[in-house]
Homo-oligomer: A and B are copies of this chain.
């Protein structure tokens, strides 16, 4: 840091994204991208006319995209805000709904960015320990009277809470916002988006990065009561009103018209996951039941970090987290069946 950086960030520990090698030499199973390309209609959405129109500012209200999402969820477009990835949405909501009075609570093992958002906004965070089986216990979040952020399904564990459990958490914290980060919900979880019509303190965050094959497009959104969405728009308009660019809007909108293609991809990914889980278990791996597009696996005879390094040396990237309780694990994104066969073959040779 330079001597000019505000002293309030002296101890800020920034988020470290997963490795993003640009050369494509690896089988990349480390950042939970879809192994399948965007739908054919998405390619067609990027017309010469769209590119010529880049000279004009994008619609800061994201009207067309918000209306299409609203129709899909059966809500009003005033219940939707779009962002430059769900990370930006999370950044906005930590600013809007967390302060010294509210505090914030989230699971101690979850998306690593939550603690960074808390840190940069200087909010006292309460990290609620996962249970011994790596599950989130809904009771731990009932009546906390703090802002609550839960990834459901959780990452990197892959485990789910039921909608009923989440409703209980939302009901028992009526004076605080409960954020459910549903980045992975399309792979077997149960979305609580419908509950946003019933509870004005529930905010659901979703992304186009995983099931909709648009990680590189940077598009996320939140669904909630008009009040919560207006608050998020206030933060957006005070930091970066034109946050979603025109081409991203165009590909996002086209994606929504290709739901069958993406539903089918999700089915394929779930089938591949179930097969890979079985085969990994045959090799001695243990893992929680995943409802996501990744498996969180450990092997009683292999150290997690070493396995990550050995796989990398063999051209396969997975994600290892240097955190005390999960040192033995690696998070393995579900790739194509062929990629998973290569992974399994490599592991069979190694073990």
Interface residues of A (CB under 8 A from B): 1-9, 12, 14-18, 20, 22, 28, 31, 33-38, 42-43, 46, 48, 51-61, 63-64, 84-85, 87-88, 91, 95-99, 101-102, 116-117, 119-120, 176-177, 200-201, 209, 213-218, 225, 227-228, 230-231, 233-235, 237-248, 251
Q: Which residues of B contact A101 (CB under 8 A)?
A: 6-7
Q: Which residues of B contact A7 (CB under 8 A)?
A: 99, 101
Q: Determine which of B63, B214, B231, B238 lies in contact with A119 in the assembled complex, contact meaning CB atoms within 8 Å.
A: B238
- Contact present for B235 and A217 (CB under 8 Å): no
- Contact present for B56 and A33 (CB under 8 Å): yes
- Contact present for B213 and A54 (CB under 8 Å): yes
Q: Which residues of B contact A209 (CB under 8 A)?
A: 57
Q: Which residues of B contact A42 (CB under 8 A)?
A: 51, 54
- The 9 nearest A-B residue pairs measured at CB: A2-B227, A216-B246, A14-B237, A218-B245, A55-B213, A37-B52, A6-B99, A54-B216, A5-B231
- Contact present for B63 and A1 (CB under 8 Å): no
- Contact present for A238 and B120 (CB under 8 Å): yes
- Contact present for A31 and B57 (CB under 8 Å): yes
Q: Is the interface of A mostly helix, strand, loop or mixed?
A: loop
Q: Which residue of B lies closest to A200 (CB)?
A: B2
- Contact present for A53 and B84 (CB under 8 Å): no
Q: Determine which of B61, B218, B230 lies in contact with A58 in the assembled complex, contact meaning CB atoms within 8 Å.
A: B218
Most chain B beta carbons < 10 A, residue from A15, A97, A240, A248: A240
Q: Which residue of B lies closest to A8 (CB)?
A: B99
Q: Determine which of B22, B54, B230, B242 lies in contact with A251 in the assembled complex, contact meaning CB atoms within 8 Å.
A: B54
Q: Determine which of B17, B239, B247 lies in contact with A248 in the assembled complex, contact meaning CB atoms within 8 Å.
A: B247
Q: Which residues of B contact A246 (CB under 8 A)?
A: 216-217
